[in-house]
Amino acid sequence: MNPVVIVGAGPAGSACAWRLASSGTRCLLLDKAVFPREKVCGGALSPHGASLLVSKGMVSESELDTLSHATHRRMSFWDGSRRLSIHESYGEPVRLVRRSTFDSFLLERAASAGAEVLTGVDVLSADPETHFTTAEGERSFKWSSLVCADGAKGPLRRLFGRKGRGRGIGLEVHIPADEVRQLPFELQIRFGVLPYGYGWVFPDREFVCVGAGIAGSAAPAVQVQRALESLLGSLGIDPSGCSLKAAPIPSLAVHRTLGEGDVYLIGDAAGLCDQVSGEGISHAIESGFMAADAISTAWSRKKLAREAGKGCVGIVRQSAIYRHLLFHPYLREEAMYRLGRDTQFAELYWELISGHVSYHGMFAQLLGPS
């Protein structure tokens, strides 16, 4: 039987390949990069994402601890430079991972399960049959299913995915921790730094990742850059000495069935980025596992739509609606008031990013009486 071909070896592609290989399904995993490779990302792995890796058996608890550069149970909420509140959780923490080592680990785990891995293969296009065009020339792979995990800007995503309303953008910088000793060791979420956008301050034991971005809609890069420079200045960091790194944030029309026919889209290629928080790693992992299960057990597209709707696709679709309640100029004042005064609402936001509550549940509190 022809193998499943997966293009893109980030968390989505590697999770899919590992799951398929573990079930005895032949698969070929391709990526244009040679690992380890850098990836612009805040590196926040939610409790839901961590739980998926452990419960499926891809990563052990001790391995997750080794991969984590920090664990956080404290999160502060800000409206620009004004601190609203701080929430401390007693549940599972948010982990900060370094994508170069995290992604390489997942790729190695997929290979050890039996997936064939080819890196340094830049796939430029594909037809619905077996023909691929790569940067090195034309190659043919006969496949039973094709999984597109090549990111928001990937050529296969553009070929097989749905068009979006524009592409958001994120900018970040890593500051050595000893240069910003005065910062508290907590996750900071900064609303109000951008229209329909946010900023973040994520410290680990070596670096502090400071970033700003807009998810769900297009944004001029210069606008995001100015917001990040302002955020850095408020932290006492000279922006002129920082090397900024950029990455697209998907704002695509999410396909309920993660593709059509024998073609599947997962992770950023499927537009699975939370349009409020920018969370994408756990959605990538979940969609990778889900596509693998759909392929190996021959799910119908209707069943895949049901399962995806209960999880990653449903959450992202909800975030596209409820983002307006946090970001719209006429409504954000109420949201900021609740984050500052309503401890239950702040706790619900933590539960949301942890993957334990939906947007429907969270905003039922926002729209309720004060």
- pLDDT tens-place string over residues 31-64: 999 889 888 788 999 999 999 999 999 999 999 9
Q: Rounded mean pLDDT of 306-332?
A: 88
In the chain, the amino acid numbered 199 is G
Last residue of a domain, one of 219, 234, 249: 249
The total number of structural domains in the chain stands at 3
Whether residue 94 is predicted with pLDDT greater than 80 in this model: the reply is yes
What is the reported pLDDT for 192?
87
Rounded to whole angstroms, how far apart are CA atoms 307 and 31?
27
What is the reported pLDDT for 297?
94
Whether residue 224 is found in the same domain as residue 172: yes
Residue 211: CB partners within 8 Å, gap ≥ 6?
42, 170, 171, 172, 173, 199, 200, 202, 228
Whether residue 124 is found in the same domain as residue 178: no
Percent of the chain with pLDDT over 90: 48
Instruction: Kindly report which listed range (163-167, 205-209, 252-256) carries the lowest average pLDDT score.
Output: 163-167
Rounded to whole angstroms, how far apart are CA atoms 29 and 307?
24
Last residue of a domain, one of 226, 249, 272: 249
Rounded to whole angstroms, how far apart are CA atoms 345 and 87?
10
Whether residue 205 is found in the same domain as residue 177: yes
Whether residue 357 is found in the same domain as residue 257: no
For the domain that residue 47 is a member of, what is the CATH number? 3.50.50.60
Give me the DSSP letters along 199-221. Answer: EEEEE-SSEEEEEEEE-SS---H
In which domain, by residue range, is 211 found? 168-249
Q: Is residue 80 part of a domain?
A: no
Reduced to 3 states (helix: H, G, I; strand: E, B; else coil), residue 178 is: helix
Whether residue 218 is found in the same domain as residue 126: no
| Mean of pLDDT over the chain | 88
Rounded to whole angstroms, how far apart are CA atoms 285 and 292?
11
What is the reported pLDDT for 203?
94
Q: Is residue 335 part of a domain?
A: yes
Residue 233, phi then psi, degrees to nearest 5? -60, -40
Q: Is residue 205 part of a domain?
A: yes
Residue with tokens 């057990």: 297
Whether residue 232 is found in the same domain as residue 256: no
Q: 17 versus 327: which is more confidently predicted?
A: 17
Q: What is the pLDDT of residues 326-335, one digit of tens each?
A: 888 888 888 8
Whether residue 49 is found in the same domain as residue 114: yes
pLDDT band at 130 (very low <50, low <70, confident <90, very high): low
Last residue of a domain, one of 249, 275, 292: 249
Q: 195 versus 103: which is more confidently predicted?
A: 103
Whether residue 294 is found in the same domain as residue 158: yes
Q: Is residue 286 part of a domain?
A: yes
Whether residue 352 is predicted with pLDDT greater than 70 in this model: the reply is yes
Whether residue 370 is predicted with pLDDT greater than 70 in this model: the reply is no
Whether residue 202 is found in the same domain as residue 67: no
Whether residue 25 is predicted with pLDDT greater than 80 in this model: the reply is yes
Q: Is residue 137 part of a domain?
A: yes
Reduced to 3 states (helix: H, G, I; strand: E, B; else coil), residue 290 is: helix
Whether residue 27 is found in the same domain as residue 122: yes
What is the reported pLDDT for 365?
65
pLDDT band at 226 (very low <50, low <70, confident <90, very high): very high
Q: Is residue 77 part of a domain?
A: no
Whether residue 218 is found in the same domain as residue 102: no
Whether pTM exceeds 0.85: yes
Q: What is the pLDDT of residues 234-270, one digit of tens each?
A: 888 887 777 888 887 776 678 788 988 889 999 999 9
Q: Is residue 235 part of a domain?
A: yes
Whether residue 185 is found in the same domain as residue 146: no
Q: Is residue 264 part of a domain?
A: yes
Rounded to whole angstroms, how far apart are CA atoms 245 and 228?
11
CA 176 to each of CA 80, 208, 225, 258, 352: distance values in angstroms, whole numbers, following the listed order: 23, 6, 20, 39, 30
